Amino acid sequence: MSYAQPDPTGHFGRFGGRFMPEALIAPLDELDRAWTDAKADPVFMAELDRMLREYANVPSPLYEAHRFSEAVGARILLKREDLNHTGAHKIRNVIGQALLAKRIGKPRAIAETGAGQHGVASATACAYLDLECTVYMGEVDTERQALNVARMRMLGAEVVPVTSGSRTLKDAINEALRDWVASVDTTSYLFGTAAGPHPFPSMVRDLTRGIGDEARAQALALDGRLPDAAVACVGGGSNAIGLFTAFIDDSDVRLVGIEAGGDGVATGRHAATITGGDVGVLHGARSFLLQDEDGQTVESHSISAGLDYPGVGPEHSYLADIGRATYTPATDAEAMAAFDLLCKTEGIIPAIESAHALAGALDLAKELGPDATILVNLSGRGDKDVHTAAEYFGLIDEPVVLEQGVEE
C-alpha cells in the first residue's frame, strides 16, 4: 500500500496536528488551501520549477565520491545540495513559500533563524521576489553569527535580535509567532523546517522532496538500481524528509536519519530528539522533543547550530514510530571526524550538519559492507563552518570573526 500522510487535519498517526492560538487557525487554514490550490496549478508549479532551475541551480548533481567511498568501505553517492544558491537545500523551501506568499498577496514575510541559513535564504528569496522581510534571531545567535546578520541586512532584511528565553532558535520561533499573530493579515510566515503546525510540515516536505525525487532518478540513471540506504541529518528535519519522501514506498531502501548527538546522548548535552527525547507538544505540533519532567523545553546542544533544536518535525516521529526510518545519533566528535575525512578525500568542505549524515554513512558502511551503495544528502556547504571547524581542529591561534552555522 502506498504511503499517504498526513490525514486532512495534518496528523501523521499520533503526531503533528495544530496546537496553536485560535487566532492563527483561520490563517493556517487559508495557507493550507492556498498551497493545495497552488500545487494543483500548472502555471504556479512551472514558475516555481523555472525559478529553482534558473535561480537556485536545481537540480543538484549526484556525485559518486570515489576516494571517500574507498576510505569508508562502501560506495557513497552524495546529493550535492551544497551547490545550490545560498549553499544549502534551504533555498528550495524558501523560494516555494515566498512564491506562495506572492500568490496570496501578502507583502511582508517573517522568518526565524538559528545560525542564519534559513534567514539568509529568506532574505534572498524576499529580495528576489520583492517582499519586505523581517528575520527573528536569538540574541545569542546574532552574536555568534555576526556575518550572517550582516548578510541578511545586505539583502535588505530587517534582523530582530530576540532577548527572551534561551535567546536561541526556539525563542526566535516564539517571537516570530508573536509577530505573526498580530500581523497575519499582511504577513506570511516562511517557516524554516518541516515542523510547526499543519500545514507547515507537509508543505515544507512538498517543497524539499525534489532532493529525493532527483536523487532517485539520478541513482537509477547511474546504476540501473536504487541505493541500499539513504542517509540525512535531522534537526527539524527538512532536508531529511526531502530526501526520504521519494523512497518511502521503496521498502528495500533503508532510510536513516542522523541526529546531533552533541557530547553523547548519555551526557544529556545533545540535540537527538527522537533518540533521547519524549513525545510532547512544541511549536504547534505533537512530536518528540527534549523536555524535563514538567514538560518545560530543555535546551539542546550540538556543535552544529543548524541541528541545535529541541524539537523535530512530526513526520519523522511518525516514520520512527512505524519503523520505516531509523534515527541514530552522531556525536560532535564523530561528525567532525567525517567532516575532516570528506575535506581530505574529496576536496569538499561540508556543512557540519551534513557531516553528521556522513558520520552515519561511515557506521552504515561497516554494517553493509563494500558492495553497498549509500546515498547521503550533502545538505549544505561548510564555508560558514570554517571558523568552528578551524577552532575545533586547532588550525588557528587567534579567534577570528567568521560566519558559521546553518540550520539543517
Question: Could you give the residue numbers annotated as active site?
Answer: 90, 112, 379
Report how far apart, in Å, the C-alpha atoms of 25 and of each of 6, 30, 106, 223, 326 are.
17, 9, 17, 47, 32
Among positions 6, 15, 18, 136, the unique one binding another protein when judged by CB under 8 A: 18
Q: HEC states along the chain?
A: CCCCCCCCCCEECCEECCCCCHHHHHHHHHHHHHHHHHHCCHHHHHHHHHHHHHCCCCCCCEEECHHHHHHHCCEEEEEEHHHCHHHECHHHHHHHHHHHHHHHCCCEEEEEECCCHHHHHHHHHHHHHCCEEEEEEEHHHHHHCHHHHHHHHHCCCEEEEECCCCCCHHHHHHHHHHHHHHHCCCEEECCCCCCCCCCHHHHHHHHHCHHHHHHHHHHHHHHCCCCCEEEEEECCCHHHHHHHHHHCCCCCCEEEEEEEEEEEHHHCEEECHHHHCEEEEECCEEEEECECCCCCECCCCCCCHHHCCCECCHHHHHHHHCCCEEEEEEEHHHHHHHHHHHHHHHCCCECHHHHHHHHHHHHHHHHHCCCCEEEEEECEECHHHHHHHHHHCCCCCCCCCCCCCCCC
- Based on the shown chain and the rule CB under 8 A, indicate whether residue 108 belongs to the binding site for another protein: no
* Window contacting another protein (CB under 8 A); options: 106-114, 229-237, 295-303, 361-369: 295-303
> CB of 96: closest distance to another protein in angstroms?
24
Among positions 3, 7, 14, 25, the unique one binding another protein when judged by CB under 8 A: 25
- Based on the shown chain and the rule CB under 8 A, indicate whether residue 164 belongs to the binding site for another protein: yes
- Based on the shown chain and the rule CB under 8 A, indicate whether residue 184 belongs to the binding site for another protein: yes
C-beta of 183 vs 345, nearer to another protein:
183
- Residues 6 or more apart in contact with residue 333 via CB below 8 angstroms: none
What nine digits make up the cell of 2?
502506498
- Based on the shown chain and the rule CB under 8 A, indicate whether residue 161 belongs to the binding site for another protein: no
> CB of 322: closest distance to another protein in angstroms?
21
* Window contacting another protein (CB under 8 A); options: 42-50, 290-298, 312-320, 380-388: 290-298
C-beta of 171 vs 206, nearer to another protein:
171
Among positions 144, 151, 170, 316, the unique one binding another protein when judged by CB under 8 A: 170
Using CB under 8 A, count the residues that bind another protein. 36
C-beta of 82 vs 112, nearer to another protein:
112
* Window contacting another protein (CB under 8 A); options: 39-47, 174-182, 323-331, 395-403: 174-182
C-beta of 90 vs 301, nearer to another protein:
301
Spatial separation of the C-alpha atoms in residues 48 and 53, rounded to whole Å? 9
* Window contacting another protein (CB under 8 A); options: 14-22, 62-70, 116-124, 259-267: 14-22
Among positions 284, 314, 350, 380, the unique one binding another protein when judged by CB under 8 A: 284
> CB of 166: closest distance to another protein in angstroms?
8
Among positions 296, 347, 398, 399, the unique one binding another protein when judged by CB under 8 A: 296
Beta carbons of 272 and 261 less than 8 angstroms apart: yes
Among positions 108, 178, 269, 324, the unique one binding another protein when judged by CB under 8 A: 178
C-beta of 23 vs 396, nearer to another protein:
23
- Based on the shown chain and the rule CB under 8 A, indicate whether residue 8 belongs to the binding site for another protein: no
- Based on the shown chain and the rule CB under 8 A, indicate whether residue 186 belongs to the binding site for another protein: no
Among positions 3, 7, 19, 153, the unique one binding another protein when judged by CB under 8 A: 19
- Based on the shown chain and the rule CB under 8 A, indicate whether residue 297 belongs to the binding site for another protein: yes
Spatial separation of the C-alpha atoms in residues 343 and 56, rounded to whole Å? 24
Site for another protein in 139-158 (CB under 8 A): none
> CB of 121: closest distance to another protein in angstroms?
23
Among positions 104, 280, 333, 343, the unique one binding another protein when judged by CB under 8 A: 280
Residue numbers at the binding site for another protein (CB under 8 A): 9, 17-27, 29, 164-165, 170-171, 174, 177-178, 181-185, 280-284, 291, 293-297
